[in-house]
Structure 1
């Protein structure tokens, strides 16, 4: 039996332009984060439009979206360029990420559902297996999923959004400073296990503390590789396990 359409359509049509903008932004974002565009590279709207076979309008709007995400900067007399920075910028981002990760873990420990906790445990297990197998690609993928699951479990959409931006910017700055990801050892496994234990047992104070310590460990890894003016302590702290 056909549905009653006497009152008109129930859903509003989705503008094709919106879908196109999402696709264009996703493609440029992937190219930036995967290294196809080096940090500091100029992003020409006409060239992007030509390569993507789209008009200049979605290409221009996509760059504006990526600028909001912190992956693109607008430089006077140069235009849009891929984010680049120095060790001071790296330090600021790590400080910001430490605060966000700590709060995300605290909130997750308070309100994560049983299903979300089970998913977090499963991701941590897959990540540990990838570390033991020395599979860098899997390590990076599951590490990203681990932290994203905690941010989602916080129930705070703003924390989730900002952490996504910070992680993307850290990937770019690390590449700009020729700093390869690492931390594939037992320390990162121990750090993740400590975070999982705190969240699954509902220990909000511990969750905040060990999540923050984990992020400080990542910064310590970069500092130990000789980055100048990174600031901060030169000694690792409790559960301060390096990661990607």
Structure 2
């Protein structure tokens, strides 16, 4: 782990939480990797208490896992886990886009279109970190503009793992452009106020995401088996 230090102007646990979360989402901490609270505390020059708080917060989000022996490991996606989360997303986000079609204002449509424009620019310059951020914003806007706060809460519970999957999902030849084109298709249906078609297009988009992730996990599993003696 790099010797990055938390900003002592803010609560230690909050700074450590954001530091660890970033390292997990950006892949510096690998899936299945052991995490040691004492080691982190020494490296960050803090007591174990704020590290423990940060770890518990990340456990609640699903990014860290703690077993019955109190061993801490980075979340490692399984096929079943991915399928269950994406099944939830298909149902919830297809409903969100359907509701948004019925309630969207012209200015809200402009906001979504601007996100698509910025996504395209980020792809052109090869800024994948921004591509991921704009992809997240596209989906977040649809949920927000659905006007259903309870729907937002339900999807909020999946937020960290969804972001984790989106980080994996954007990689691959032409993958970012494929995601953008599917977002444009969803947006086109929204502009036309075709709620049912927008919902179906969203469902297909998330199904494509799921298929891509499953293929990635399969390849990683095969590579891991191939490395074993």
Both proteins in one fold, TM over 0.5: yes
Deviates more, 1:112-121 or 1:58-67: 112-121
The offset of 1:78, in angstroms, is 5.0
> Quick check: 1:39–1:82 contact (8 Å CA) kept in 2?
yes
Residues 77 and 17 of structure 1: is their aligned pair in 2 closer, same or farther, counting only changes over 3 Å?
A: farther
**Does structure 1 residue 184 correspond to structure 2 residue 175?**
yes
**Does structure 1 residue 194 correspond to structure 2 residue 189?**
no
> Quick check: 2:62–2:160 contact (8 Å CA) kept in 1?
yes
Rounded to whole Å, the distance in 1 between the matches of 2:178 and 2:28 is 31
**Does structure 1 residue 145 correspond to structure 2 residue 137?**
yes
Rounded to whole Å, the distance in 1 between the matches of 2:106 and 2:192 is 11
The offset of 1:185, in angstroms, is 6.2
Which residue of 53, 56, 59 maps to 2:51? 59
TM (norm. structure 2) is 0.76
The equivalent residue for 1:235 is none
> Quick check: 1:72–1:83 contact (8 Å CA) kept in 2?
yes
Rounded to whole Å, the distance in 1 between the matches of 2:56 and 2:126 is 38
Q: Which runs of 5+ in 2 are unaligned?
A: 1-7, 220-229
Deviates more, 1:159-168 or 1:54-63: 159-168
> Quick check: 1:33–1:171 contact (8 Å CA) kept in 2?
no
Rounded to whole Å, the distance in 2 between the matches of 1:202 and 1:19 is 46
Q: Of Structure 1 and Structure 2, which has the larger fraction of its residues in helix?
A: 2
Rounded to whole Å, the distance in 2 between the matches of 1:222 and 1:120 is 25
The 3-state SS of whatever aligns with 1:227 is: helix
Q: Which runs of 5+ in 1 are unaligned?
A: 1-15, 229-244
Rounded to whole Å, the distance in 2 between the matches of 1:163 and 1:35 is 19
Rounded to whole Å, the distance in 2 between the matches of 1:194 and 1:30 is 31
The offset of 1:37, in angstroms, is 1.0
The equivalent residue for 2:205 is 214
> Quick check: 1:40–1:84 contact (8 Å CA) kept in 2?
yes
The equivalent residue for 2:39 is 47
**Does structure 1 residue 125 correspond to structure 2 residue 117?**
yes
The offset of 1:95, in angstroms, is 1.6
> Quick check: 2:79–2:217 contact (8 Å CA) kept in 1?
no
RMSD of Structure 2 on Structure 1 (CA): 3.0
The equivalent residue for 1:170 is 165
Larger radius of gyration: 1
1:99-132 CA distance string (max 9 Å, x none) = 2321222232233444332111101122234445
Rounded to whole Å, the distance in 1 between the matches of 2:114 and 2:160 is 25
> Quick check: 1:71–1:82 contact (8 Å CA) kept in 2?
yes
The equivalent residue for 2:71 is 79
Residues 74 and 198 of structure 1: is their aligned pair in 2 closer, same or farther, counting only changes over 3 Å?
A: same
TM (norm. structure 1) is 0.72
Rounded to whole Å, the distance in 1 between the matches of 2:53 and 2:9 is 11
The equivalent residue for 2:225 is none
